[in-house]
Amino acid sequence: MTNTFDFTVKAADGSDVPMSDFAGKALLIVNVASKCGLTPQYEALEALYEENKDKGLEIIGFPCNQFGGQEPGTDEEIQEFCSLTYDVKFPIMRKIDVNGEGADPLFSYLRAADPGDFQPVIPRLWDALKQMNPETFGTDEVKWNFTKFLVGRDGNVIRRYEPYVSPADIAADLPEALG
């Protein structure tokens, strides 16, 4: 049976990172972007990381430019932005696709493990995304930047959080992942 720890991803410098390096930790895996209205979530993600890293939580960011071209930079530029703008200490990997034929296999697995339940919580966001990415609705595809997947210490997906869910709101589910 496949789980998150069976995959290998690329670090920003292009080196291979076996997800098994994180075995035994709870993970919050996030597709990120530096020019998105949700980019300030970096600050809350970093706060969540700092508060829980010693308890066994690892946050891993995966830059993606598939949504409105909001991650146009090079991997080096993205690293610099995250460090200088938000003082991000959790790993930011190489830029990837999270949807479509070129989707990174890890994200294909995560999407299949929890197809999500994108709700019209914020009507303007719902309408805008439905206009920009109508093909993603009714599918397991990631709808926008800052979709988050919580993974337990066993490597299995616990829950998917849509972009509008604040990292602070995820804190309530961490005991389940860290337990």
Compute CA 115 distance to the chain's CA centroid, rounded to the nearest angstrom.
14
Compute CA 38 distance to the chain's CA centroid, rounded to the nearest angstrom.
12
11, 36, 171, 178: which is the annotated catalytic residue? 36
Strand stretches in 33-162, DSSP E: 57-63, 148-151, 157-161
- Is residue 62 classed as helix, strand or coil in its secondary structure? strand
Cα atoms found within 13 Å of the Cα of residue 126, Cβ hemisphere only: 8
Distance CA 111, CA 129 (A): 18
Asked about 36 being catalytic, the answer comes back as: yes
Cβ-contact 147, 140 below 8 angstroms: no
Question: What residues are annotated to the active site?
Answer: 36
